[in-house]
Structure 1
Amino acid sequence: MSDIQSYDVVVVGGGPSGSTVGGLLAKAGHRVLILERERFPRYHIGESLVTGMTPLLTELGLVEELDRRFQHKTGISLRWGSDPQPWRSDFSSASSVYSHAWHVTRSEFDELMLNNARSLGATVVEEAHVSEVTGAGTGTVTGLVYTHGGKKHQVTSRYVVDASGQARTVSRKTTSTQWQEDLRNVAVWGYFDTYTPIEHDQDILVEAVDGGGWFWGIPLSKDKLSLGFVLPAERLAQAVQQGRSQREVFLEGLAASNIAKTMVDPGDTPQEMNTARDWSHLSDTFYGPGWVAVGDSAAFIDPLFSSGIWLGTSGAWLAARALDSALADPAGEQHALQRFDAVYRQLFRDVLLYVRFFMDPSRLREEYMERAREITQMYTESSRVGFVSLISGIGAVADLVDFDPMGMDGLRDIMTERAQQAQARSADTAAAV
């Protein structure tokens, strides 16, 4: 062991969730270390954002850069339900402020987010391989052991944040996970350099296909389309056992579509397709002594409405608020982390409940909209916008910006103490001069 390092918070994973919680905590003045397994930029799927991320991205100072780099996303075009006619939801109908999101190349977007965390004061180590979660076996996480550049390092910290995605580096050791058996799906996708855009060319396409499964179509730029087919994992496994390739399964799904097949030439489909499982899961708890989990380490839900990065970064935002409070007032730690878990878990339940309902493609369009309205009223009482609100993340914005992990009394006490400390430092400085 070459050295022992000490930080307030160490974050495992430098993706959007990890860079968000690490950057915000560093911005608040805490000593933060972010450990990322890979070297950025690196490829990743999950390329369509939702408008519910805009308040966070504004806080991080990234909106102008996103507008400069990436294609706008103004809504969602669907062919879903018993009505064969396509239909559309425009983000501007939910909010006059957040009228667009972005379709992003994740290698660029994730690198932008991680570099932003650096600029906010977080220490970032890439190509760092975590080999041990110290204290996990005793019930209280106290730090990590990681390898970088052939040397082993030990880190002690007040808190470890698991933002390691599906690897679940910490949460795998500290909590159980409930798999959502009805949402065990797999995605097969590829990229097309030429394509015919749909009518609303800045929308994401979401289309249910005959025989089961659904397609996404994400216009990353004028000359690059991300086109993916999501289907039950068991169905793909059976096809492979029968000797059919993943590409053949993709093309079978494409032939059964109505809109997706008009966008591309099947002959241009790459011979080697990308695949990934998207098995939905929910951890029993999102926190414990010395640790919290955000993003896919905490939970994952079918990407039907592009909610993954929004859920992950929303949880990271909540975690940053809760940990900032707990670091300032250790006596209030349990209350702060309980509030983090409760609000974050509710966001997942909102989306999971609706995805399950929406997965039945035989309903009327009005049924989907009515169900969405009921859910937003049930779980996010400040929202009455309905369908667009739920699928864009806007329905939770009011709750997120009002999130107070300590309760108002606790927050006032902390702010008063900080003001007194600032006055004392000013007085000491004046006396020294």
Structure 2
Amino acid sequence: MSRTESVDVVVVGGGPAGATAGSLLAKAGHTVLILERETFPRYHIGESMVSGMAPLMEELGLVEELDARFRPKSGITLRWGRDPEPWRSDFSAAFSATGSHFTHAWHVTRSEFDELMLDNARKLGAMVHEAAQVTKVLQDETGRVTGVAYTQDGETHQVTARFVVDASGQGRLLTRQLTETSWQEDLRNVAVWTYFDSYTPIEDKDDILVEAIQGGGWVWGIPLSETKLSMGYVLPAEMLAEQTRGGRTQRDVFLDCLKDSHVAKKMVDVAALGDLSTTRDWSHVCDTFHGPGWAAVGDAAAFIDPLFSSGVWLGTSGAWLAARALDAALKDEGREEQVLERFDSLYRQLFKDILAYVRFFMDPTRLREEYEERAREIGNMVTQSSRVGFVSMISGVSAVADVVDFDPMSAEEVEGVMQEWDEQAAASQEAGEGDEERSLAQEAHAS
């Protein structure tokens, strides 16, 4: 039998970004329904976390559980650039610069990690429906999103809400319909990966390995446990298509990658190579992360090449920002556009900073010092040290303060937005077009 529900917020998607948004909004006292099309646990790639996630995990009360269940990630070992020798960045260095008590991140089995996140959302008060497929976005006569329709157990249901959060991943359920998406043509990559049941660890055994391959692309090595290693090869989609012509397979391409590597090939026995999986890692960003009645987080909003394992961090950071903004909007309807604009602006800046550095880093011919200096220059680094600035950039630590301290209603941010409006209105007025807009901006500033 079909039913109609009404809640404060509907979250479409129960992955890390959706679970984060749902958890925090429920924790703030709002009624939340998370709709997840699959049944957890379910497999997912993206197993190495960055240390910038630690403050959110603490906010959600999950640090102890993560430490008990998953392998710590203490840093990143790279073979990249003109230096032929592998080099390392220790995550604890960036945390020390901030006075933080965190020292590491985690390598996780995503099926377990995602289930843990979703179960925690339940514990914090969110309602969760699994095997629930959203089929329609509901809108009123003005175009405002007012809820969704979904199917579960063969029945169709409707749920109305003051806000809908699109956390539907690459499916982009709302954003595909409500905004445009820009693709980063230079980052149209494909990932081919597998698992080894035994391996030889690198010197810093808790690190993730990231190694540039001379022929193009890069390889990862993630030590999920003492006996299980995730290893993958990321390369341009055109390169994979070219290399699999004439009867060659993805297996052949993967074996060539290992042959051309210096570190990765020493970790595994190619005779033990099992089945391969593949997915496209096409970096993209939506033109807007919000609209009347909705906000987007995670891959539904933006995705960047997984070079520095930033995917889950970027998605959950965006969800944390969105939860703060939606909490404020639910408490003060008159501030909806204002707080969502601030959420959008900061979330987009995080994306731009990571994207700019990934593009810079994709040139594997630079000196190590060049990568470190460039990272220090991007964003609000926690230190003037190039080396620590590099760790801060790739581990998300440089943005922790912005995310943790984000206040969508702060007077300082209000003043900044109003000043921007004043400047835009003044420019329009000079062009003979802005009398009315200027008046509205001044009224808003006065209020």
Q: With structure 1 as the length reference, what TM-score do the two structures score?
A: 0.92
Task: Quote how far apart the aligned CAs of 1:98 are.
Answer: 2.0
Does the 8 Å contact 2:47/2:110 carry over to 1? yes
Task: Quote how far apart the aligned CAs of 1:238 are.
Answer: 2.2
1:180 aligns with 2:184: yes
Which ranges in structure 2 are unaligned for 5 or more consecutive residues?
Answer: 415-447
1:49 aligns with 2:49: yes
Q: Residue deviations 1:96-122, cap 9 Å, x none?
A: 322100000000000000000000000
Q: Residue deviations 1:121-171, cap 9 Å, x none?
A: 000000001110111895311110000011000111000000010000111
1-side partners of 2:245 and 2:137: how far apart? 39
Task: Quote how far apart the aligned CAs of 1:381 are.
Answer: 5.9
- Following superposition, which runs of at least 4 residues in structure 1 exceed 6 angstroms of deviation? none
2-side partners of 1:352 and 1:18: how far apart? 22
Amino acid at match of 2:5: Q
Does the 8 Å contact 1:73/1:101 carry over to 2? yes
Q: How does 1:339-418 map to 2 (within 5 A)?
A: 339-375=342-378, 379-380=379-380, 384=384, 385-408=388-411
Compute the RMSD of aligned alpha carbons. 1.4
Tell me what 2:28 maps to: 28
Equivalent residue of 2:145, what SS? coil
Amino acid at match of 1:179: W
Give aligned pairs, total.
407
1-side partners of 2:87 and 2:148: how far apart? 50
Tell me what 1:126 maps to: 130
2-side partners of 1:175 and 1:410: how far apart? 26
Does the 8 Å contact 1:382/1:399 carry over to 2? no
Say which of 310, 328, 331 aligns to 1:307: 310
Q: Residue deviations 1:279-308, cap 9 Å, x none?
A: 000110000011100000000000000000
Say which of 286, 289, 301 aligns to 1:286: 289
Aligned in 2, Cα 1:239/1:399: closer, same or farther, shift over 3 Å?
same
2-side partners of 1:163 and 1:276: how far apart? 19
Aligned in 2, Cα 1:209/1:371: closer, same or farther, shift over 3 Å?
same
Aligned in 2, Cα 1:286/1:383: closer, same or farther, shift over 3 Å?
farther
Task: Quote how far apart the aligned CAs of 1:409 are.
Answer: 8.4
Tell me what 2:174 maps to: 170
Tell me what 2:10 maps to: 10
Q: With structure 2 as the length reference, what TM-score do the two structures score?
A: 0.89
Tell me what 2:433 maps to: none
Does the 8 Å contact 1:383/1:396 carry over to 2? no
Equivalent residue of 1:335, what SS? helix
Q: How does 1:71-220 map to 2 (within 5 A)?
A: 71-96=71-96, 97-135=101-139, 139-220=143-224
Deviates more, 1:55-64 or 1:238-247: 238-247
Q: Identity of counterpart residues, as a percentage? A: 68
Amino acid at match of 1:83: D
Aligned in 2, Cα 1:184/1:278: closer, same or farther, shift over 3 Å?
same
Does the 8 Å contact 1:136/1:173 carry over to 2? no
Does the 8 Å contact 1:78/1:88 carry over to 2? yes
Tell me what 1:58 maps to: 58
1-side partners of 2:8 and 2:161: how far apart? 5
